[in-house]
Amino acid sequence: MDQKDIYDTIIIGSGPAGYTAGIYTSRGNLKTLLLAGDVPGGQLMITTDVENYPGFKKGITGPDLMLQMREQAIRFNTEIIDASVTHVNFKKSPLEIIADGTTYYSKTCVIATGASAQWLGIESETRLMGKGISGCATCDGFFFKEKNIVVVGGGDSAMEESLFLTKFAKSIKILVRRDKLRASSIMQERAKNHPKISFLWNTKVKEFIGKERLEGVEIVNNKTGKEDTIIAQGAFIAIGHKPNTEIFKEHIELDERGYIKRILNTQTSAKGVFAAGDVHDHRYRQAITAAGYGCEAAIDAMKYLEEKNGD
């Protein structure tokens, strides 16, 4: 194999982690390929206003932020291909990564495939995404000051989202599809004791109402079949996140929830393979933390190559 056909690093996934990693490795004079996937930019491509990312005093839309990051990576000669990775082989040297039928070879790899919020899957949810419907209270809670909000879910995530939203919302109704919560006892107690929070049990969403923005939620009782409408200007879907790690499960070590385990700093269980962003981070899940992890993984990949070349 001709050495010129081997990349110093291949980054799998775009979004803040992937693009930041590309900026750092390319500026570090590494031959870098970024495989951006079918939806370059990740979760931020369905986010409207981003006001908590430093450097934008008036805020910026998610797509615009991702476009600026992409263009910055390209400026430093990151090669970007909008292709989805289907197979990897981390046991070979160089590493093999297959995307849309083409095999690429690299000395190192940064996995930045992120995690996807789980949604209800109804048409009106998709239509009103970012127009009153969100999957991240920390990201979007600020926009719902003195608004009536519903939160969908019954686990710790739903309780955490609801409690955070009490800082802004006028009222919060938690829609629980069963007659009890899955959340831990302490989280249940905190939510049940908060004066802004109330619960609707055995309840599921039938439809979200609104043309330009969310105006209400049609609900149905799972046991009685009774339907009702809640007036709400915000809805937060808190039924979990799924890390995008399916293609890696036979190649690197994952935890019980499917997130990548980081063995040392950003290093995974596979030699020369590093993880960055929501693909391992199930706690913070913010654009700024993902970018920070992308920086870490890029630096670790560079140090790995330096040490290997010094052998």
Q: Match 């979004």 to its residue by tokens.
A: 15
Instruction: Give the domain-ending residue among 237, 266, 293.
Output: 237
* 117 band by pLDDT with thresholds 50, 70 and 90: confident
What are 22's two structure tokens?
């590309």
Residues 49, 98 share a domain: yes
pLDDT, tens digit (0-9, with 9 covering 90-100), for 163-211: 999 999 999 999 999 999 999 899 999 999 999 999 999 999 999 999 9
pLDDT, tens digit (0-9, with 9 covering 90-100), for 238-281: 998 889 999 999 999 999 999 999 999 999 999 999 999 999 99
Q: Summarize the confidence of residues 106-113 as an average pLDDT.
A: 98
Task: Find the CATH number of the domain harbouring 89.
Answer: 3.50.50.60
Catalytic, 295? Answer: no
Residues 246, 226 share a domain: no
Residue 151 to residue 67: CA distance in whole angstroms? 31
Residue 52 to residue 95: CA distance in whole angstroms? 37
Among residues 8, 25, 62, 7, which one has the least CA distance to residue 40? 62
Instruction: Give the domain-ending residue among 237, 265, 290.
Output: 237
Catalytic, 109? Answer: no
* Catalytic residue (choose from 109, 139, 278, 300): 139
Q: What is the number of structural domains in the chain?
A: 2
* Catalytic residue (choose from 140, 278, 281, 300): 140
Tell me, what's the pLDDT at 284? 87
Would the pLDDT of 101 be above 70?
yes
* Catalytic residue (choose from 8, 136, 156, 278): 136
What single-letter DSSP state applies at residue 212?
Answer: S
The residue range of the domain holding 251 is 3-116+241-310
Residues 212, 255 share a domain: no
Residue 87 to residue 70: CA distance in whole angstroms? 24
Residues 110, 252 share a domain: yes
- Continuous segment of H or E residues that includes residue 221: strand 216-221
pTM score of the predicted model: 0.78
For the chain, the first-to-last Cα distance in angstroms comes to 21
Residue 62 to residue 70: CA distance in whole angstroms? 12
